[in-house]
Amino acid sequence: MGMSGTLRTTPLHAAHRAAGAKMVAFAGWEMPLHYGSQIEEHHQVRRDAGMFDVSHMLAIDLQGTGARGFLRTLLANDVAKLREPGAALYSCLLGFDGGVMDDLLVYFLGADRFRIVVNAGTSDKDIAWIVAQRTSGAGVDVAPRRDLAIIAVQGPCARKKAGRALPQARGSSERLHRFQAVAVGEMLVARTGYTGEDGFEIMLPAAHATELWNTLGLQGVTPVGLGARDTLRLEAGMNLYGQDMDEGVTPFECGLGWTVDLKSSRDFIGRAALARPAARQLIGLMLLERGVMRMHQAVRCDGGEGEITSGGFAPTLNRSIALARVPSTVAVGDGVEVNVRDKWLRARAVKPPFVRNGKILVHG
């Protein structure tokens, strides 16, 4: 992977430039913001198929006889649920105080092999933490896979078009259930994503990334930048690390309590700190007046105050929506007020997601 000034670049950097993408700095990388129209790219994913370069995210392979036991200690969700090769799980990586160090996907590759995919801005910190928690006798090899690229193909037509672009993977990928993956040669094709739509995330050797990107384009899959990726994930009610969660927030304070497995006596890092009840929660907001909610805007509600963590204009709903951290006493349907440009505007608390599989799930 090359460099642009002090920014890292992905193997698809030249393809983005050739397509006329507006490039911006993101988490230490130079990435495409859009290829002309963020709104059109958003609608393309909701209505057809779009592709994202997410090679800035890092795959880390863990292998060895102690890998499963180590991950059961390391992660808040329990990898014991991953029984068949290809099964995937979403989890938080916690500190000892229960704060979210990162959110990630973990894949069981078979035997004693696992792969986790972490966020770009936290990857170096995550590796250092993982290595530090590994005891000398754990029997776990930790290998960052910086030789891989990751392309996400998302939308109602994504799987069909990706199947035509990857005929060698079509048979096995068509049988995948959600949160499953299959190895096809040097590729790992996973039925996961970050948009609220169906599709794949494809991990492959960096040397083959441009060829796949161009082949997907010939099948009518539209390139999509970070701008639409953000509005899509917000509509899908999905957290963005560094905005909706960080090391000062527990999973129960950012809507990710469902990823914490407390059913067994398994002692994972951060478990003891999660025993105390959460005074805050993450909810969705729909603005009832003209305006646009943005990150850090104040929220006024019964029981205290809160703050917008992610907000913006939602193209599918044609109105402003947000995620906000507010007191745990606020209930779905409650009215709140948001300070938008020094004016207190009315909003309503809703349960995310706002949109899933192209369907609007909240109204009013």
CA distance 166 to 161: 9
Structure tokens at 310: 């992610």
Q: State which H helix or E strand residue 183 sits in.
A: strand 181-184
CA distance 316 to 338: 22
Q: Give tens-digit pLDDT for 15-42.
A: 999 999 999 999 999 999 999 999 999 9
Q: Give tens-digit pLDDT for 105-148.
A: 999 999 999 999 999 999 999 999 999 999 877 789 999 999 99
CA distance 261 to 276: 16
pLDDT bucket at 171, cuts 50 / 70 / 90: confident
> Three-class SS of residue 174?
helix
Residue 221 DSSP label: P
Sign of CA dihedral 162, 164, 168, 170: positive
What stretch(es) of the chain map to CATH 3.30.1360.120? 1-277
Q: Average pLDDT for residues 326-352, to the nearest whole number?
A: 97
What stretch(es) of the chain map to CATH 2.40.30.110? 279-360
Q: Give tens-digit pLDDT for 59-94.
A: 999 999 999 999 999 999 999 999 999 999 999 999
CATH for 1-277, among 3.40.50.920, 3.30.1360.120, 3.90.1150.140, 3.40.50.1000? Answer: 3.30.1360.120
CA distance 342 to 297: 9
The length of the chain is 364
The whole-number pLDDT of residue 173 equals: 78
The whole-number pLDDT of residue 5 equals: 60
What does the DSSP assignment read for 326-356? Answer: EETT--TT-EEEEEETTEEEEEEEEPSPSEE
Q: What is the CATH number of domain 279-360?
A: 2.40.30.110
C-beta of residue 192 within 8 angstroms of C-beta of residue 88 = yes
Q: Average pLDDT for residues 333-344, to the nearest whole number?
A: 97
Task: Report pTM.
Answer: 0.96
- Single out the residue of 239, 154, 244, 243 nearest to residue 193, CA to CA: 154
